[in-house]
Structure 1
């Protein structure tokens, strides 16, 4: 019996299976984690791209109305990878007069509670000359992680974009 026990302790035939059982969960964790982080990064990039597209389209207009805002919000949500997730869009026309930023008009669509309060000062807006205007687009979307394995769960991505009107000094809202 003692000889059999000594032979069993010296045997290496199951070592690779035991090593695999230790390494496999770690490898699976890193694989799922890398897929989840990639998906999170892709969602963030989609909102950055969507904000840029919306800002560019509006900068090419001379005036917009409520129907245009509704349609551009549809474009914004369709540019997101998951267009069923709650999202919000705020479009503002901002002028600088006597060194102070003034809001000409602002239109919001979607789940507006996702957007932060709008602050109009030099810390959040680009430097522009007096009498000039910009289109300020703020977009936000919620993101639910593929797996809660990394502890993120659900988060809100918010991004902003600026552009100058191309054909007129300021885009009007009718």
Structure 2
């Protein structure tokens, strides 16, 4: 190797002027991705909490009454969309059903209303988790779903958040629908 190249490599080896810039250039993309990932996880957890809160609130509003009118049901469903704010209510959907178990153990839907998803057919026989219903009793069943459109979908992708909530009526054995 020529003396010029040896001298140049030796000088280059001793020069530390750009080390910080090179280290930053190597670490910065990883740090930016970590930051964006943490922001995304934080937003997704916030949406998940709001979905859970809306399911609980909707079930509670229905379970407190003995008869639900059309106007009350419209207000209750709108309340669910309001709870999800500041996230887009267009991606929110909810279904509220009253389900009864007969004295012989047959489970069937008494009534169902929904916003953004189909209502369950009256008389249909859904499968509920064990222990939710007992013979001669009813339960208010709320299903909430939210299609979360991630701002950084290249990192995490979009996903659906769903929640179910069950409450027994407080004023009567069943909540009637007018």
After TM superposition, the score normalised by the length of structure 1 is 0.88
State the match for 1:107 in structure 2: 113
Q: Using the alignment, how far apart are the partners of 2:144 and 2:91 within structure 1?
A: 11
Q: Secondary structure at the match of 2:143?
A: strand
What residue ranges of structure 2 are gaps of 5+ in the alignment? none
Question: 5+ residue gaps in structure 1?
Answer: none
Q: 1:137 to 1:28 in 2, by over 3 A?
A: same
Q: Tell me if the contact between 2:108 and 2:126 (Cα under 8 Å) persists in the aligned partners.
A: yes
CA distance in 2, matches of 1:91, 1:171: 11
Summarize the alignment of residues 54-73 of structure 1 with structure 2, pairs less than 5 Å apart: 54-73=58-77
Match of 1:12 in 2: 16
Note closer, same or farther for the CA distance 1:156–1:167 as it changes in structure 2 (3 Å cut): same
- The CA distance in 2 between the partners of 1:116 and 1:142, in whole Å, is 20
CA distance in 2, matches of 1:57, 1:164: 11
User: 1:145 is matched with which residue?
Assistant: 150
Moved over 4 A (4+): 115-119
Whose relative contact order is higher, 1 or 2, with alpha carbons under 8 Å and at least 6 apart?
Answer: 1
Distance 1:125 1:31 in 2: 42
Number of residue pairs the alignment of both structures matches = 170
SS in 1 for 2:54: helix
CA distance in 1 between counterparts of 2:151 and 2:133 reads 41
Equivalent position of 2:90 in the other structure: 85
After TM superposition, the score normalised by the length of structure 2 is 0.86
Whether the aligned pair in 2 keeps the contact of 1:139 and 1:159 (CA below 8 Å) is: yes
Task: Work out the CA distance in 2 between the residues paired with 1:149 and 1:119.
Answer: 41
In structure 1, what is the Cα distance between the partners aligned to 2:145 and 2:91?
9
CA RMSD of the aligned region, Å? 2.2
